[in-house]
Chain A
Amino acid sequence: MAKRAAPEVNAGSMADIAFLLLIFFLVTTTIATDSGLNRKLPPIQDETEPPVIKQKNIFQLQVNRNNQLFLKTAGEEKVIEIKDLRKAAVTFLDNGGGIGEDACPKCQGAKNPRSSDNFNKAIISLQNDRKTKYSTYIAVQNEILAAYNELRDREFKSAFPNLDMSFVEASKKYAAPRTTPEEKEKLKEKITQIKLLIPQIFSEAEPKKAG
């Protein structure tokens, strides 16, 4: 029997079809942003007596309607730029001016008696105006988080020097899906320890009405 050659399918238009699909997906793709600053809101409580807090343990920030920052801490009141905020917050948190029960052996700050006592006593408070721009608010939040992360990194490194990791890296590794459960368990313990040493005490007051 004579061998009949199978007719060849013309594949020239396959590229066109693939291009069509490719362009469709190119246009519809939006690279999803699903990262950001995680925060916890305080639950609504019944009217309770607010705890007594020493004035020196408060780092009071106000942002006005023109996106200017006003800082009240250690008996000083001043206007501050966002770029200086991180340093100011670290100085405040790391001050360690407490004595006796409130003493802070890990703090490396100036031990100014008019500034914060201890990591776990220091409170950062933020008040916005209703007209404050969201981008300014995020920048302030970012700087405050950065200050906490800087100190936590330092303490994490000094507490677990053989891990060769910073606190932020450890948290990232903890959240990564590839980390095995055993590793997670080990990391969690260490992360919690640092979180307890330097808790984020951050309070947000109700915004002021724009006049």
Chain B
Amino acid sequence: MAKFNKKKDGGLPAVNTASLPDIVFMLLFFFMVATVMRENTLKIENKLPAADQIEKLDKKYPISYIYVGKPSSRFKSFGTEARIQLNDNYAEVTDIGPYIASERVPLREELKNKITVALKVDVDANMGLVSDIKQELRKAQALKINYTTRQGEAF
């Protein structure tokens, strides 16, 4: 029997996986560098519209975000009308003034009036709410705004 057992060297040699960690680490580093951690957890649906005349947001100046959209499926109890989200919570139109003021507090004096407000509004939101927000921003003297959009065909 021993004679038969010895005849086992015909199998495939094992693939050397020593370089696998290197490849995986390479991918890992790419994603670590490319990742931008979400500042806010979204409680709303936020599908951005597309436009093709877009400009990059100037990162030199402070940016505040205002999210608008209808409550996401986990928050059905808040209704189906589009709502505003500031930081991590739902907010009313009247909360925008104080929000902008609080965003301005930690800024250096010369940057206080350079604040840009990025409006991340869902495609299905209606303009009534957006104009109310714009009106509040005018009252708060935050006049630079940016309608955040995806790159793509507008219609």
B154 within 8 A of A: yes
Query: In the assembled complex, which residues on chain A have CB atoms less than 8 Å from the CB atom of B57?
Result: 34-36, 38
A18 to B32, CA, bound (A): 12
**Please, which residues of chain B bring their CB within 8 A of the CB of A21?**
28
Q: From known contacts A11-B21, A43-B141, infer whether A131 and B128 are also in contact, taking CB-CB under 8 Å.
A: yes
A-contact bits for B119-136, CB 8 A (1 contact / 0 none): 001111111101100100
Q: Is the beta-carbon distance between B131 and A206 smaller than 8 angstroms?
A: yes
Q: Chain A residues with Cβ under 8 A from B86's Cβ?
A: none
Interface size class of A (residues with CB under 8 A): 35 or more
Q: Tell me if B's interface is mostly helix, strand, loop or mixed.
A: mixed
User: How many residues on chain B are close to A (CB under 8 Å)?
Assistant: 55
CB distance from A207 to the nearest CB of B (A): 5
Contact across chains for B31 and A26 when beta carbons are under 8 A apart: yes
Pairwise interchain contact A34-B124, C-beta atoms closer than 8 A? no
How far in angstroms is the closest Cβ of chain B from A118? 23
Give min CB distance, A46 to chain B, whole Å: 13
Given that A40-B145, A44-B139 are known contacts, is A142 also in contact with B51, CB under 8 Å in the complex? Answer: yes
Q: Smallest distance from the beta carbon of B15 to chain A beta carbons, Å?
A: 13
Known contacts A18-B25, A34-B59, then 8 further A-B pairs from the complex at CB < 8 Å, ordered by chain A residue? A15-B17, A15-B21, A35-B148, A36-B147, A41-B143, A131-B128, A132-B127, A138-B51
- 29 A-B pairs, CB-CB below 8 angstroms? A22-B31, A25-B31, A28-B35, A28-B37, A31-B36, A34-B57, A36-B54, A36-B55, A36-B57, A36-B149, A38-B57, A39-B147, A40-B143, A41-B145, A42-B138, A128-B127, A130-B126, A131-B128, A133-B124, A134-B68, A134-B122, A134-B123, A135-B123, A138-B49, A139-B51, A139-B154, A149-B53, A172-B56, A207-B131
List chain B positions with a Cβ less than 8 A from chain A.
17-18, 20-21, 24-25, 27-28, 31-32, 34-38, 48-49, 51-59, 63, 68, 118, 121-128, 130-131, 134, 137-139, 141, 143-151, 154-155
